[in-house]
Amino acid sequence: MSAELRSNFLRTQIEKDLAEGRVSELVTRFPPEPNGFLHIGHAKSITVNFGLAAQFGGRCHLRFDDTNPEKESQEFIDSIQEDVRWLGFEWSGEVRYASAYFDQLYEWALYLIEQGLAYVCDLSPTEARDYRGTLTEPGKNSPYRDRTKEENHSLFLRMRDGEFADGERVLRAKIDMASPNINLRDPILYRIRHASHHQTGDRWPIYPTYDYAHGQEDAIEGVTHSICTLEFEDHRPLYDWFITHLPVPHVPRQIEFARLNTSYTITSKRKLKQLVDEGIVAGWDDPRMPTIAGLRRRGYPAPAIRHFCEEVGTSRSDSVVDVAMLESAVRDQLNKTAPRAMCVMSPVKVVLSNLSNRLQLSVPNHPSDASFGQRDLSMGVELFIDRDDFREEANKHYKRLVLGKRVRLRGSVVIEAESCDKDEKGNVVTIYARCVTLEAGVDPEDGIKPKGVIHWVCAAQAVPAVVRRYDRLFRIPEPGRSENIIDEINPESLSIVEAAMIEPALRDAEPEQVFQFEREGYFVADRFDHTKEQPVFNLIIGLRDTWSDTHG
């Protein structure tokens, strides 16, 4: 059982409701609007709703609250289903849609009219705002509030028949324009929208609002606990008002918890869409995006995301969680599950002057887990090391290859640098070295041990690869406070290595397969772009947190 599910106020309330017989089975729901890709905040909601249902032997529904056809699409519906499954959850029964209940919601709107609890209003949006009042001043009754039931019924039928233009009329609940809770000041139930719907086509020229539809959908589905985030707390009285005044078959209960906010991250769909539309990122699934699809393409493991969501806990207080906590969960997970491999990012050639025969090596795939097995490597006279791993001269703190000094090649022999060639610009192009030992893992007979260990790739077998090095998309901890989020972008959030050199076996990596590139970090074969002909790897995360070192 996870830490979160062992102790939180939601679990305590559910246990109480079950013990007192208020409900016989827990039924929760995850109700996204299909108007964008899910993000890390949704991952928290998914973990809570599906996790509680699993813990208590209940059910969790996946329901699309598709009441706004102008912003919704099948692409978003498909991506959301894939995200939920990828995170490790499965919903109860078929996928559900608010649009499947449009007939019932319409009948209940007619019921409210007949009860004198709803009316057709002709105020323009600007006039409606003026009549609504403010947080400190009550609203004023619409001049159309006292229409007869017969007139409201007739006008609503005509709205349904498509007689009026978009925005010309709305159906409103008749509650209390003087209520201190603005959500109860005669909220809108239906708007006129001559828009084709991805599920119902052109059947409806009117669409229910989210506030009106949501609670009734819960009631129809038998949801016992409508668990949502704190921004809906002020909407709960309206949620309960509809449930009380309509002949619903079931009474659900809304409970709010604090949404997940992480530093260096935005979760506003509007602003995320701006990044996509303006080409700041390569799409909703760009590995720098906080979307679940982006995190997946970046290589973040689903178990690490679930663990992070559980570790931050569930509370009633909004706060911002340091994104380093998520990164730490990813790093911990990958350290246990990622096999090791070698990749040279900035290759420079090394020629071994005294190596006459190719060495055949057997190298462990994981330094502390023998179950990962061994891999065979071949080392010839020429190999590649990283340019940063060689200096002509250096102080004693430099633990890599220096002229006249020794290093061990990972999983192989000890070498000593003797000389180097440079180009006309003074750049080292070839390093000449000799093998001090000719057997892997053996120390030099003269007792002079190597200064450090560096990684390498056999030049004759090395495979060129593209490596995308990702960093945080934003350079400030709380992005999105200003309207121009483009100014907050980290200009170094993506750098591309066009000609890295990898072990030959990495050519056969499957898309989404993860490795630790020795001394470099954790990398994933890109979900879409990686092929045997052109390997492409994405940096998931470094071996340690370097952000605070370079940006602190």
CA distance 90 to 11: 20
The amino acid that residue 485 corresponds to is: I
Pairing of strands 96-97, 320-321: unpaired
Question: Would you call 273 a catalytic residue per the annotation?
Answer: no
CA distance 225 to 159: 34
Question: Would you call 33 a catalytic residue per the annotation?
Answer: yes
Catalytic residue of the set 140, 193, 269, 391: 269
CB atoms under 10 Å from CB of 2, counted, come to 13
Strands of 342-491, DSSP E: 343-344, 347-352, 359-364, 374-379, 382-386, 390-391, 401-402, 406-409, 414-422, 428-435, 453-454, 457-458, 463-470
Tabulate helix, strand, coil % of the chain (nearest 5).
30, 25, 45
Closest of 220, 189, 185, 186 to residue 206, by C-alpha: 189
Catalytic residue of the set 71, 145, 160, 259: 259
CA distance 42 to 30: 9
Dihedral sign, Cα of residue 277, residue 283, residue 287, residue 290 = positive
Tokens read off for 222: 């038998």
* Concatenated DSSP letters of 484-519: -GGGGB-TTSEEEEEEEEE-GGGGGPPTT-EEEETT
Contact 490, 502 (CB under 8 A): no
Contact 150, 183 (CB under 8 A): no
Torsion of the alpha carbons at 102, 103, 109 and 112, rounded to the nearest 10: -130
Q: How far is CA 282 from CA 142, 250, 345, 437, 514, in A?
A: 47, 45, 23, 48, 22
Question: Would you call 16 a catalytic residue per the annotation?
Answer: no
Contact 376, 367 (CB under 8 A): no
Burial group, residue 349, by CB count within 10 angstroms (0-12, 13-18, 19+): middle
Catalytic residue of the set 11, 33, 71, 149: 33
Closest of 346, 366, 340, 308 to residue 514, by C-alpha: 340
Contact 480, 266 (CB under 8 A): yes
List 207's β-bridge partners, or say none.
191
Residues in the chain: 552
Burial group, residue 477, by CB count within 10 angstroms (0-12, 13-18, 19+): middle
| Residues annotated catalytic, as ranges | 33, 259, 269
